[in-house]
Copies of this chain bind each other. A is one copy, B any other.
Amino acid sequence: MSANRNVADMAQARASSSVDAAKLQVFLWGEREWEARQRVESVLAKDPLFEKSSRSFLTRSQMYYRALAMTNRLHELQEIHRWSPEEVNIAFKLVDEPLPIALHMAAFEPVIRTQGSPELKQKYSELIAQRGILGCYLQTELGHGTNVASLETTATYIPETHEFEIHSPTLTSSKWWIGALGKTATHGVVQARLILPPGKDVGPHLFLVQLRSLDDHKVLPGITIGDIGPKAMGGYSAVDNGYASFDHVRIPREQMLSGFASVTPDGQYVQPPHAKLSYGGMLYIRSSMVSSGGWTIARGATIAIRYATVRRQGNKGPDGLERQVITYPSVYYRLLPILSHAYVFILLGRNLTKAFGEMTSRLTSGDTSLLAEMHATTSGLKVLISTTAIQDLETARRSMGGHGFSDFAGVGRLYADYVPAATYEGDNFVLDQQVVRAALKAFDALVVKKTRSVNELTPSTLYLRHLATSSSPPSSSLNWNKPENVIALLERRAAAMVQERAQDLRDPDASADQRVSRAVTEAFVAAQVGEIIKSLEETVASKEATVLRKLYNLHLLVAAEGGLVDILSFGLLGPSASGGDPTRELRLAIKRHCEELLPEAIGLSDGFGFTDWELDSALGVYDGNVYENLWKRAQSEPLNTSEVTEGYERYIKPMLERGQRRIARAKL
């Protein structure tokens, strides 16, 4: 088979798409960001320092140095091109790998901004913004993760000197997993139990601690610091996740982050006005995980769809060619839903960012009314998106058959870097419980205590309104092409599950929280998708709107299929029109949607606007020339530098000679 066949197949697929990729790029990125992105990308893609394909052959130390070099270079480029902070952020997004500096930007800087006292901010904000110091955020300990209340590190106030003494009393109290702590950060915000005289423990609070000298980067006295070693599957390889233990380290009183709670010079505790005011940062990170999860899925989907378009396998058609693998139902049934997830989560994330802005500005004026809603929403979404994205990346990788297991395919790398999302920023199984707790509370107010009316339901609990209306099972089969039907079905399922969960309160089954949390979150997402579909006419041209409507509808159908156990067990599906298996109509609707979307798959994935440099995948190249790319990349493998391996003289030759000797001996 000629490699040009691949290129012809890709060109053909592109020509037969009815959508305009450029219009979709603006739809997904927004006009302003899309333009800035192209501007910044043209700078980075030319710079050899940002070359991505060499990563396959680097050690962890080399990956770390490369990350530092890129970070330093980005700050140089910022000056050269007079990039705005927004453009710098875009540059970091384009680099698209976990970097130590990310912890400075996403954790250290925001926590000081939101929880530091005015004096502390006055002293440090500019230093932090200009990278005059580099920070990290020390929460997790060797023995404690999600359960912050049990952290062991202490910060004991010494009224005599107006200092706090930071101390790690045990091995398990060592801070562990802290990004950028191992070798990079000069400062850190340490979470420690505040102990006030005469020994009163008032629980975890935050303290700014200098870790390394600004003169020579040596670790300051009393502190032990190191890197915690490599991560599973080579993920996060460039990040120096580190450990630290503190041996009675003193810091001035002013370095407590006392934007909310504080300690008076004589050691009196001043209560925070609202205990939850400090949740903002955590919610910000979780809410930003929605669109980043969407973009991660987008990468996997683009690579897998492009490869499945040019890969041919199976029986030969009348043209003498084997079938393009994307035309197999078992393949498109896997890839098109992934595409729909990406399109949903990207838009959902954008809406969430807006809602987060609204909440923050209210919080500033002491109004915490949106906090609980944001907390419930982001917890559920964090679980749903991370679980979905991990699964989608693996599905994408596996859809590529053998070649998907090559590092050059690029999806394994995405997977390894993405997979900790299920356990960081709140373990998914802990968050599930929080989602269920919020749902039960809303159920209790609406149905049991009747202290809240249907009109007072928030978006995250709106599905509960179905409990207030009569809910006799439908007498005829659903029209699966109408999004409102599928949304209502997903909402009724969530309502029924919460109701059942409330009934089984004292003896839930072992996976109940996980299932209820998922149902509740899927109902919320479905309603949001409904809004997105309604707004399509205004946000995108009509040709694209037609295709996107199908794609968003596919998302709803696939969610319904995933919820079938619940839907069936609550009798929420009417009988099939044909009298047969009522789930078959749903599955055929999915198949029809996929068939109609199939010619648009390349156009829709081009809509993400990824360049070859960004994707860094031999199988996901824009022009489809996958085999030549695989071949070319293999030539750089270090094992290929010599025709005969170093291992020959030392190991292979002795083995062959031993074997031949044995035979000679046997023949004697």
Contacts and interface: CB of A to CB of B under 8 A. Distances in A.
Given A409-B232, A634-B228, A650-B68, A172 B3 contact: yes
Contact of A424 (B144, B240, B402, B594): B402
Contacts of A64: 639, 645, 647
Contacts of A409: 232
A509 interface: yes
A313 B146 contact: yes
B406 A420 contact: no
A24 to B, nearest CB: 25
Nearest to A59: B59
A72 interface: yes
B655 A152 contact: no
B639 A240 contact: yes
A656 B226 contact: no
* Interface residue range, chain A: 35 or more
Contacts of A233: 233-235, 412-413, 415-416
B420 A405 contact: yes
A394 B418 CA distance: 13
A638 B405 contact: no
A581 B588 contact: no
Interface stretch (A189-197, A458-466, A545-553, A660-668): A660-668
Interface in A122-154: 126-127, 130-134, 140, 142-147, 150, 152
B170 A2 contact: yes
Interface in A28-80: 56-57, 59-61, 64-65, 68-69, 71-72, 75-76
A229 B409 CA distance: 11
A422 B406 contact: no
A222 to B, nearest CB: 14
A495 B240 CA distance: 54
Contact of A146 (B71, B231, B232, B401): B401
A343 interface: no
A482 to B, nearest CB: 20
A509 B419 contact: no
Contacts of A511: 329-330, 333, 587
A582 interface: yes
Interface in A497-531: 500, 503-504, 507-514
B132 A313 contact: no
A655 B643 CA distance: 43
A254 interface: no
A651 B147 CA distance: 36
A423 interface: yes
A72 B659 contact: no
B401 A659 contact: no
A229 B654 contact: no
A214 interface: yes
Interface stretch (A176-184, A286-294, A358-366): A176-184
Interface string A559-594: 000001100111000000000111110011011001
Contact of A413 (B227, B232, B590, B635): B232
Contacts of A232: 397, 404-407, 409, 411-413, 415
A540 interface: no
Given A132-B659, A411-B232, A500-B581, A645 B587 contact: no
Contacts of A3: 170-172
A543 to B, nearest CB: 26
A229 to B, nearest CB: 4
Given A234-B234, A407-B231, A510-B587, A132 B646 contact: no
A427 B405 CA distance: 12
B647 A68 contact: yes
Contact of A69 (B412, B503, B650, B653): B650
A644 to B, nearest CB: 5
A313 to B, nearest CB: 5
A390 to B, nearest CB: 8
B65 A647 contact: yes
B57 A230 contact: yes
Contacts of A152: 1
Nearest to A56: B230
Contacts of A60: 638-639
A332 interface: yes
A408 B631 contact: no
A56 B229 contact: yes
A648 B71 CA distance: 12
Interface string A200-231: 00000000000000101111000000111111
B659 A130 contact: yes
A75 B655 CA distance: 8
Given A332-B510, A565-B568, A627 B663 contact: no
Given A330-B511, A412-B233, A582 B594 contact: no
Contacts of A126: 663, 666
Nearest 3 A/B pairs, CB to CB:
A232-B412, A132-B659, A333-B510
11 contacts: A1-B170, A145-B401, A147-B314, A171-B631, A176-B630, A218-B644, A226-B637, A227-B640, A228-B406, A243-B631, A565-B568
Given A228-B637, A564-B565, 8 more contacts: A69-B651, A132-B662, A228-B634, A229-B633, A230-B406, A232-B405, A329-B511, A509-B587
